[in-house]
Chain A
Amino acid sequence: MIKKIFNILFASLVVASLFSCNEQEDIELNQNPDFVVVFAELAQGETAEVELRYSTDFALPIDNYEDKFKKQISNARVILKASNGKEEILKESKEKAGIYYSELIKGEEDVHYDLIIDAAGKRFTSSSYIPKPVKLDKIEVVEDLGNGEYSSDGKAEVTVYWKDRPNERNFYMLKLDIDSENLIEYGKKDNIYLFSDINNDGNNIKLKLKKSSLMKMPDYAYTVSLRCIDEDTYNYISSVQNYEDNGSDFTFTSPGNLPTNINGGAVGFFNAFAVSKIVWKK
């Protein structure tokens, strides 16, 4: 009797398992018009660079960190205005379509900048501000590069020191470059570190930046850049870092568009920033 019951139960379980299924649905192309993507940067003491392109339909692939379907936007009108009265129409690069740069305007501290873009039949506007720079005090590096010359199990710990400017909200982006090469892509968590002074207003800051998978190479140099950025840029980069680990599968990713300071329906951001650098060599 018991055997009979178990036979029925397990047979039923097998039957039940057969009835689960999967349906598949193609995501149609051209469901929506292309979105304009804007990336604009203006560093203190340097000229501005603006990249304009269209987004890629979600059904089309972005593989190996490269957008094969990237469509640059040429012949746009890009104007940069500074609060100190300077104004310039940016030129499009002859070598790289969709890249616009300034020749006259260079980033200056304590100056507001307005960006006006006429592209794809629409006007997009944005503004950003270069705050007074906060200087890095020093950096310290502790290396453990392993024994093998070509092994990649080397590790390093870079300690960064600076003093936060009191009585104001400051947002920082630290960039760590090793041997002046972008060994690890810009934008990756391994290379970019964000910090805000929400709990550290006016404090002396000490941060440890850790690196792994380093190869033992002669004459290593470590360059740490401390950028003072605005809150919009801080929010944008921190959101990008959330997406970084998720690949292209957004099933368990909390949905929503990244914050942007571009008005008019485009995505991306305009970031003007002050920067302080220290290079460490053995």
Chain B
Amino acid sequence: MRGIVIETGFVKLRQLCIILFLFVLVGKPLLGQENATVCGFIKDSKTGETLIGATVYVSDLNIGTSTNTYGYYSVSVPKGNYTVKFQYVGYDLKKETLDLTSDISFDVLLQPLSIDLKEVEIKADKVEQQHVRSTQTGVEVLKPSDIEFLPDLFGEKDIVKAFQLTSGVKAGTEGFSSLYVRGGRPDQNLIMLDEATVYNISHIAGLFSVFNSDAIKSATLIKGAIPSRFGGRLSSLLDVQMKEGNNLKYHGKGSIGLISSRLMFEGPIQKGKSSFMISGRRSYLDLPLLLSGNKNKAYFYDYNMKLNSWIGSKDRIFISAYAGRDAAKMMRMMDVNWGNKTSTIRWNHLYNSKLFSNVSFIYSVFDYYLAPIDSEGNIEKDNEENGGIGVIDGGIKDINGKIDFEYYLLPKLSLKFGGNVLFHGFNTGVASKVNNNETQETINALENGLYLSAVYQPINTLTIDAGLRFSNFSVIGPYDELSYEAGTESIVTKHYSAGNIVEQFNSLEPRLTATYLLDEESSLKASFSKNTQFLHSMNGFKFSSPISLWIPSMGSILPSYSYQYTLGYYRNLFKNRWQFSAEGYYKDLYNQKDFLPGTDVFFDNVMQNIVEGNGNAYGLELSARKVKGRFTGWINYTYSRVWQKTDRINSGEKYPSYQDRPHDINIVIMYKPSKRVELSALWTFQTGQPYNVPLAHYTYKGVDVPIYSKINSRRYKDYHRLDLSISIYSKRSLRPNRKFKRYWSISIYNVYGRQNPWLHTYGNKPLDELGRNKRIDKATFFRFVPMFNYNFKF
């Protein structure tokens, strides 16, 4: 057993136990009081869909809560009559006077705000203060409606690209779907679709994400302290929930875009009880090729499906699935395809008004395939023997069982606890070359977790959310321990039978957030968290690539772990129409992966070339968001740095990581001058990406060896662009009772044609008069791209 991770958490664990003990001590007298509980679901009145994160507030007692992922809430109060407010952003406030002399079940239907502009102005005063009161730091929540009218690339409203415009999140390379959160790398984000891990979120190597906005209900990105029920990643949690489906009436939505189209259909199976949602999307870049008889092809598709049904009044079942794939075939070059499949079955059960549970069975698989092909599309077997790449075929498969409980114990104390058992099957089939080592193809592992967290409000102005997660990771047999040595055949040094533990790691991860209300409109929040990561994607962290080789922690590849400290100030301004926040963070990062100099990050046997070092990341995020009115949008600025120190790189001196881009500004404005027209604009700026150019080179026995100065000492020129968009509804679409509505969207990406660098390569040119034959080629994508989209709803 490897204890390296667990030891570092012990001091924090002891502190956490003391805090939890104090909670119980202080809370104990409250148990003696006579309480009543109101519980139920909060739903959209037009679709019947439950609302995630809607707030319930008993103003007489200054007690509140919010709905969970399934729209469920429960509030316990001393017996009496109270006015209870139910609120959700974009919906009318609902006030109810409830007789709470006994436990009651009370479902609430909230009315979406009318698109009548005058009404919007009036309702703006009543935007709830979740921004100020919530017990999470570094949270961004987006719904498809928030981004419906944003400018987009090639007509796809992409929720991942929208998150790239929020503070503390960077996009990486131009046009790509990667998320670099607070100095983390893309593989350090836990990205989940209905609880199933999505290992590769890219279509067309990253131009689109795999999330079809028509099929999404909401997406939450947590950059700060991740709740203890989630584990396994260092940087962030992106929790994407699919739509459940309108359970009151049939409804459809679609779009015809520049290179892809999509369609979504939803409706009740049994009105008010069960519903379905199905959506599909496909690109047609390959259509002209197909029509012209060309054998090359390039396309992607994805499908989402979800069913849900109530069984009685206490049980609800959800079944959801996703499948998506990209394929590209270029004759005489390569045949490459990759994709994810996920499926989730969930069972919600209400034991009583205070105890809610969810049991989930989750299957997720990501796989990729790449092969060199000849002019007829057949695999070129000679390629490998001639020293080129062979067939690359790998991926990862997850089977996960989990159970979560939410126990609303006291008016000011609620508990969450549960656990999961997660099986990983790694297929590490990486490129093989003549005389090179073969990597073991299949590795199995178990990642198990147990957690307990408590939300406690010791005084009206202070809320504490404290949690503890225990994670266990075991590599299990069958497994042959090989010696990985350059230039030799691998040797089996030890054989492990099926089920035997090859290697094991444990980790205790405290998570703590405290929110202190300064007044009704402002608060201070602080958080501390430890996160551990046992899985690593070795290809994806420098370049966006579909060939994301995921490998487990084992041998010399240790679990990565981090400590994050966050402090923030939050304030609502101008009658809650503006939300302002300033949040600073500091992270200590351990066992961060990098490659030995000279490693080809796509095709070398990367497991042999991984080196580890430590680092840190810190930053300040300033954000102002206007949430209501004719004008909505946000402006944010982030200053951030991320450093790494690795023994065998840069002479052991610290260097900026590849994701280090100190300055980041985003301005997003949406304006609705009339019922028919939506205007939007966004401007984004990022410091240029660091890169390296060799200063000199020499030959050693025929090998061209470069000499660099300091690592990442040069930067691409700064990145910035302006996008504009206008959406116009047809006149007939606004007629009352008109079922079919349509609108055109016209966008211009990169209006002023900035030549933002995409990739620098080293090219050869004919010798010039100085004898030079090398130059830097700077590739630029997407200068001034106009786009048109036809959208419809019925």
Contact = CB atoms under 8 A, between A and B. Distances in A.
Interface stretch (B59-67, B406-414, B600-608): B600-608
Given A242-B597, A253-B598, A195 B696 contact: no
Interface in B570-595: 594-595
Contacts of B784: 19
B774 interface: yes
B783 interface: yes
Nearest to A243: B598
Contacts of A126: none
A9 B761 contact: no
Interface string A46-78: 000000010111111110011101100000000
Contacts of A29: 770, 772
B699 interface: yes
Interface string A170-192: 00001000000000011111101
Contacts of B712: 255
Interface stretch (B419-427, B502-510, B528-536, B700-708): B700-708
A139 B638 CA distance: 63
B707 A240 contact: no
B695 A249 contact: no
B174 to A, nearest CB: 10
Given A22-B778, A242-B597, A15 B699 contact: no
A61 B767 CA distance: 9
Given A55-B707, A249-B762, A259 B698 contact: no
A9 B703 contact: no
Given A59-B774, A60-B772, A212-B385, A34 B702 contact: no
A83 interface: no
A65 B709 CA distance: 23
B696 A65 contact: no
Interface in A227-241: 235, 238-241
Nearest to B285: A13
Contacts of B779: 20, 22
Nearest to B652: A259
B253 interface: no
Given A37-B698, A59-B774, A253-B598, A207 B488 contact: yes
A239 B698 contact: no
Contacts of A206: 491
Interface stretch (A85-93, A105-113, A196-204): A196-204
B787 interface: yes
Contacts of B692: 255
A55 B709 CA distance: 13
Nearest to A32: B695
A196 B485 CA distance: 7
Contact size range, A: 35 or more
B333 interface: no
Interface string B762-791: 111101101111111111111111111010
Contacts of A188: 701-703
A254 B707 contact: no
B83 interface: no
Contacts of B289: none
Contact of A9 (B258, B599, B651, B780): B258
Nearest to B604: A242
B772 A56 contact: no
Given A242-B598, A251-B762, A255-B708, A53 B648 contact: no
Nearest to A63: B773
Given A240-B700, A255-B597, A21 B786 contact: no
A122 to B, nearest CB: 16
A61 B777 contact: no
Contacts of B787: 12, 16
Contacts of A244: 703
B294 interface: no
B701 A186 contact: yes
Given A34-B696, A61-B774, A256 B650 contact: yes
A31 B696 CA distance: 9
B789 to A, nearest CB: 9
B387 interface: yes
Contact of A56 (B288, B542, B609, B698): B698
Nearest to A62: B704
A104 interface: no
Contact of A239 (B256, B434, B598, B696): B598
Among B257, B698, B765, the most chain A Cβ lie within 10 Å of the Cβ of B698
Nearest to A244: B703
Given A212-B385, A245-B387, A256-B711, A5 B598 contact: no
B698 A267 contact: yes
Contacts of B760: 251
A152 interface: no
A257 B435 contact: no
A91 B648 CA distance: 34
Contact of B435 (A20, A60, A189, A259): A189
A66 B701 CA distance: 9
B543 interface: yes
B129 interface: no
B730 to A, nearest CB: 13
A59 B257 CA distance: 45
Contacts of A198: 483
A233 to B, nearest CB: 12
A243 B705 contact: yes
A151 interface: no
Interface in B473-487: 481-483, 485-487
A204 to B, nearest CB: 11
B649 interface: yes
A24 B599 contact: no
B671 to A, nearest CB: 24
A243 B599 CA distance: 7
A32 B699 CA distance: 18
A14 B594 CA distance: 40
B436 A256 contact: no
A104 B351 CA distance: 90
Contacts of B601: 252-254
B772 A27 contact: yes
A209 interface: yes
Nearest to A207: B488
Interface string B670-707: 00000000000000000000001111111111111111
A278 interface: no
A194 interface: yes
B493 interface: yes
Contact of A59 (B387, B598, B772, B781): B772
B755 interface: yes
Given A199-B483, A200-B493, A58 B258 contact: no
A16 B602 CA distance: 29
B355 interface: no
B777 A187 contact: no
A241 B707 contact: no
A104 to B, nearest CB: 27
B778 A58 contact: no
19 contacts: A9-B259, A21-B780, A22-B778, A23-B778, A35-B698, A56-B697, A58-B695, A61-B773, A190-B435, A195-B483, A203-B493, A207-B489, A208-B488, A240-B598, A245-B604, A248-B704, A254-B598, A255-B692, A258-B598
Given A196-B485, A255-B711, A257-B650, 19 more contacts: A12-B258, A20-B783, A21-B755, A27-B775, A27-B776, A35-B707, A37-B698, A53-B698, A59-B773, A61-B771, A62-B697, A189-B436, A190-B435, A195-B485, A208-B488, A248-B762, A252-B600, A257-B597, A259-B648
Interface of A: 5, 8-10, 12-13, 15-16, 19-27, 29, 31-32, 34-35, 37, 39, 53, 55-62, 65-67, 69-70, 174, 185-190, 192-196, 198-200, 203, 205-210, 212, 235, 238-259, 267-268
Interface of B: 154, 256-259, 288, 385, 387, 433-436, 481-483, 485-489, 491, 493, 542-543, 594-604, 609, 648-651, 692-709, 711-712, 753, 755, 759-765, 767-768, 770-788, 790
